[in-house]
């Protein structure tokens, strides 16, 4: 008899967190929101992640149908990762997290704390700077 484990969530956000939880998955998703990326590009974009952890996180995202892995038949082999159609439904979630985080950084700066934000390409980064200048 095939028994399947029953997953129980108290609220929907718990299910969301089960898929995107961890230190690296939200960062991976944010980078893949922009475009498909190769393994080396992801390592450069997220410099503190190890190859082992990146591979593990990508596999978990593949299992959850969030990310797809495309292998191009060439020598040397080229592999790209991109969001699936289902994974793209998380773009609003990760954009909201990014926007909230950047506003939190602004709040911290206004409170006199020194906080650096390295991703100056974010669409919210410029908006945040404009808010500070006012």
Q: Looking at residue 1, what is its pLDDT?
A: 55
Instruction: Name every residue whose Cβ is closer than 8 Å to that of residue 87 and which is 6 or more positions away in sequence.
Output: 29, 32, 61, 65, 66, 67, 68
99: which DSSP letter? H
Question: Quick check: 2 pLDDT over 90?
Answer: no
Could you tell me the pLDDT band of residue 15, with boundaries at 50, 70 and 90?
A: very high
Q: Looking at residue 131, what is its pLDDT?
A: 47
Question: Quick check: 83 pLDDT over 50?
Answer: yes
The domain spans of the chain are 12-133
Q: Looking at residue 129, what is its pLDDT?
A: 46
119: which DSSP letter? -
Q: What is the pLDDT of residues 42-73, one digit of tens each?
A: 999 998 999 999 999 999 999 999 999 999 88
Q: Looking at residue 126, what is its pLDDT?
A: 42
Which tokens sit at 95? 């954009």
Which tokens sit at 114? 């020194």
Parallel/antiparallel/unpaired status of strands 78-83 and 37-38: antiparallel
Question: Quick check: 77 pLDDT over 60?
Answer: yes
pTM of the model: 0.80
Q: DSSP string spanning 13-69?
A: HHHHHHHH-SSSHHHHHHHHHH--EEHHHHHHHSTTS-HHHHHHHHHHHHHTTSEEE
Write down the architecture of domain 12-133 according to CATH: Orthogonal Bundle (1.10)
The whole-number average pLDDT for the span 93-122 is: 86
3-state secondary structure (DSSP) of residue 102: helix
């Amino acid at each position: 008899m095939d028994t399947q484990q029953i997953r129980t969530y108290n609220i929907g956000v718990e299910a969301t967190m089960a898929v995107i939880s961890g230190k690296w998955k939200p960062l991976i998703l944010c980078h893949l929101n922009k475009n498909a990326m190769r393994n080396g590009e992801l390592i450069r974009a997220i410099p503190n992640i190890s190859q082992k952890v990146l591979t593990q996180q990508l596999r978990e995202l593949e299992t959850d149908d969030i990310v797809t892995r495309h292998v191009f038949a060439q020598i040397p082999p080229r592999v790209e990762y991109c969001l699936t159609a289902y994974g793209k439904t998380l773009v609003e979630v990760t954009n909201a997290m990014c926007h909230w985080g950047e506003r939190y950084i602004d709040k911290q700066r206004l409170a006199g704390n020194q906080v650096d934000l390295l991703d100056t390409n974010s669409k919210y980064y410029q908006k945040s700077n404009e808010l500070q200048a006012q």
